[in-house]
Structure 1
Amino acid sequence: MDAGGLALRAAYDALAQGKPIIVQDHDMQPQSAAIVAAAKHATTSLAAFAIRHGSGLLRVVLPYERTVDLMIPSMDSSFDAVERMCVSVDALQNITTGISAADRGRTARVLADPLSTPNDLVRPGHLMVSAVDPCAQVSTVSEAAARLVHEAGCGSAALVTEIVGTENPLGLACGDEPRQFASTHGLICISVDEVQRFTAVE
């Protein structure tokens, strides 16, 4: 197994252990990258880490069918969209205003719970939701996040937030910044290209 395959296995292990990983959009000259974790493991500390180092806009990526089951309507009128943004949500119970790291972590866990029903959620809320096709070829960070979480045995819900750049804090992390961020925080970094290449043959 080459370095890419080893990185993929390491990413699975980290996600299964409740740790975040970094997913960047391309091997060479990445233009964006995100902190990714299994939504089922979205503790307060994990959500706080993502909020502090990311854009602040947390979202949970779900399969299209699951958003339908949970009655979370799409805000995107295009049925050809690779990723459809949906109405934001909060958990119905055991949260306060919905905006804190604790509350958004709680909502993420509710979204990840296969036993959750539409009645367990309030719409709109403070946690964004997006929908992807779990069977599609991986081409985006969101699709890669969903595939990685699923393959790690952590269900079908991925917690995602884009990393803000260090050289340009008004933009997203790009170039060498995602891997530098991963190295600083001891995180696995993997690209969409690697996920596409290796999950396609497994």
Structure 2
Amino acid sequence: MDIIAFVAGLIVGIVVVSIAVEFAWKKSVPEKTCKLTKKWNLNELRNALIVAEKLHITPPSDAKVVVAAPTPLAKNARENPSVIGNFVIGLNKAYIFAGEIKEGQIAVVTSDEDILKELRDMFYEFYKVKEKAVSYVPKKGRVRIRGVVRAVFPYRDGYLMRLSYEGGIVGVLLKEKMDVEGRRVEVEGEVLEYPFINPYNITVLD
């Protein structure tokens, strides 16, 4: 009887352990590292790295930004027309956006280390590419220059357009204010006294 009881107890023990292991296996699920959200806040990310085809919100002051096309809210961003995609990387999470970065845009938030590493690598590949020189500004004479408008503000009897290009910054004299901050333009005109240009024609390129 003792042997029978021992064997029966052993069998019951094995069955109980098997059930417990199976139950634990069913309850054990992979850690969730991604989810969809519309409630994101870039200011939560310290030293954010931002890649955007177009940026429609003001980035955090400590962020590094690279864009395919300039906008008024991305005045200090580095430009690289090869940029594809819209994502923001923080220290331990990232937002991958379904479209252009703007309020209400749906995003995937992820904390997966492999994804974060790949996104950082992509950011620095885009960020290290400098904007190619597209024009040369002489000290005097006729000029045609392309660049990005950094600011338009009152100056003397009119306005001054602060235009940045690969070689530096010039001032384009305007009779009337133009709402073109952050946009790429082409200016044809005359250099009166470097760095001031009297324009004949201004074309908005984007």
TM-score normalised by the shorter chain: which range applies?
under 0.3
Q: Using CA pairs under 8 Å that are at least 6 residues apart, name the structure with larger relative contact order, 1 or 2.
A: 1
Which entry has the higher C-alpha Rg, 1 or 2? 2
